[in-house]
Amino acid sequence: MEHITSTPTVKTPAERFTGDVYLNLIEAPAAPAHLAVGHVRFTPGARTNWHSHANGQTLHITDGVGLVGTREGHVVRASAGETIKCPPGEEHWHGATDTTFMAHIAIVVGDSGGDGTTWLEPVTDEQYESALGATS
């Protein structure tokens, strides 16, 4: 077995995230499974850009309260212990609320080209504020 006692915490790139978001990569995509797993921590107000995952994504909230939104305006508000499954190709975003931190384990299966994520434009303040007002 291999015992990894710590992984580096890296700030996620501003061209893909709004606000301060930190990633610990647990599993990088590699053959044969191309499984990618990360522990991602969002500060209040922080969120991903719009994006989609070729093979879908599982998000397991480990701390705080988060939001996951879709283009159709469906917004899920999820707390620690809850899991959200995003289907393949569905454009969405995830992030903290404006008053709470949120951390999740993000799980995707990629392919030989990487983790299969297609990154799009930022979630605007208007879109984010609208999501804060929605419930699910």
Q: Which residues bind Mn ion (CB under 5 A)?
A: 57
Residue 118's nearest CA partner among 73, 55, 25, 45 is 55
**Residue 77 and residue 95: Cα distance in Å, rounded?**
10
> Between the CA of residue 2 and those of 5, 35, what are the distances in Å?
10, 17
CB-wise, 3 or 118, nearer to Mn ion? Answer: 118
CB of 37 to Mn ion, least distance (A): 13
Least spacing, CB of residue 86 vs Mn ion, in Å:
6
How far apart are CB 131 and Mn ion at their closest, in Å? Answer: 14
Q: How many Å separate Cα 117 from the centre of its chain?
A: 11
The smaller minimum CB distance to Mn ion, of residues 57 and 97, is found at 57
Q: What's the DSSP call for residue 39?
A: E
Indicate the Cα dihedral angle 40, 72, 74, 59, nearest 10°: -30
Shortest Å, Cβ 100 to Mn ion:
19
Q: Which is nearer to Mn ion, 2 or 72 (CB)?
A: 72
Q: For Mn ion, which is the closer residue by CB, 87 or 124?
A: 87
